[in-house]
Structure 1
């Protein structure tokens, strides 16, 4: 049984730090699996479409991208949740687009943020397998937003 974790709010130092990479000996570990599960439960409970470990007070490079329609994003496309360990964007499309973003760590504010329309992201799975995946549209926006969290950047700094 996983728990809903507290979410760090704008102004808290954890959200300004560059998160540490998950190390080789942390893959396939119970704590990493538990962290990913608790992050997913927390994200779903708060109607998020993505979450980054620093938002739950863990300064590690772990994000979940899970686009789906909900109260906060009624037009979001449906996709299975993807847990990304040590994600990095290896390619950005030249094409950009404006889109509305909100954040579980900045609940009182939303805004139009310009992002690359498509990205290619390289990440590891919970088991340590390397994956390269292409995302476009709203899921690509989520990837960029969550990776920003890993680098200590909140979306409001891009407005």
Structure 2
């Protein structure tokens, strides 16, 4: 989800290429996904997939695959997480949320800026699913990093319940979220189902 603001991404260390491309690491990431995540280890920002490209649109329209416990404890996941964070914080094209399919990785992972928490941090949610929507809905303006040059109003629930796997324990967590943060969650989890805000 796009927002006009400037945030500077502080780079973290990137795992070595030998770690990224090791075979038999127990993860479900494909070779192509690993190559994309580690394609340029000197630059943290990943290229965004957009609707301007038919082939990229095809991936954006796919239902994303779930992540396993081994996936989210792997080095390649840490690199993906870091690079997604830097991409959404790109000062030239910042957003308030991002989903893995938007950087070409069709996996169930979203990052959401928590405007409802102190410091408004970005947090990651593997296998995020909205399990409950409030009947109360409200129109609001939205844009998307993957749909450049467009904005429109979308009717969204004002409160949701989200479930996801804890990044450390893989335990299933549930959380009630409301307000603008709930809107971001709805926008980003739509990406995991191959849905774009322009579909509404």
Asked if Structure 1 and Structure 2 have the same fold, meaning a TM-score greater than 0.5 normalized by the shorter chain, the answer is yes
Residue equivalent to 2:175:
133
> What residue in structure 2 maps to residue 71 of structure 1?
none
**Equivalent residue, structure 2, for 1:48:** 95
Matched, 1:61 2:108: yes
Q: Over residues 117-141 of structure 1, what are the superposed CA-to-partner deviations in whole Å (9 max), with x where a residue is unaligned? A: 1001010132223221111111000
Equivalent residue, structure 1, for 2:7: none
For residues 81-109 of structure 1, give each alpha carbon's deviation from its aligned partner in whole angstroms, at most 9, with x where no partner exists: 11000011111111001010000001210
In the alignment, structure 1 segments of 5+ residues that lack a partner are: 69-76
Separation of aligned partners in 2, 1:47 and 1:91: 29
**What secondary structure is seen at the aligned counterpart in 2 of 1:4?**
coil
Residue 28 of structure 1 pairs with residue 105 of structure 2: no
Structure-2 separation of matches of 1:66 and 1:126:
17
Match status 1:104 vs 2:149:
no
Give the C-alpha shift of residue 67 in structure 1.
4.7
Q: Tell me how far apart the structure 1 counterparts of residues 114 and 143 of structure 2 sit (CA, whole Å).
A: 13
CA distance in 2, matches of 1:78, 1:148: 26
Deviation at residue 5 of structure 1 after TM alignment:
0.1
Which whole-Å CA distance do the structure 2 matches of 1:145 and 1:54 have between them? 13
- What are structure 2's unaligned runs of at least 5 residues? 1-12, 15-43
1:37 CA displacement:
1.1
- Greater shift, 19-28 or 97-106, is seen at 19-28
Superposition map of 1:112-127 within 5 A: 112-127=153-168
- Report whether the alignment pairs 1:143 with 2:185: yes
Normalised by the length of structure 2, the TM-score is 0.71
| TM-score after normalising by structure 1 | 0.89
Query: Which one has a bigger Cα radius of gyration?
Result: 2
Distance 1:79 1:95 in 2: 25
Number of aligned residue pairs: give it: 150
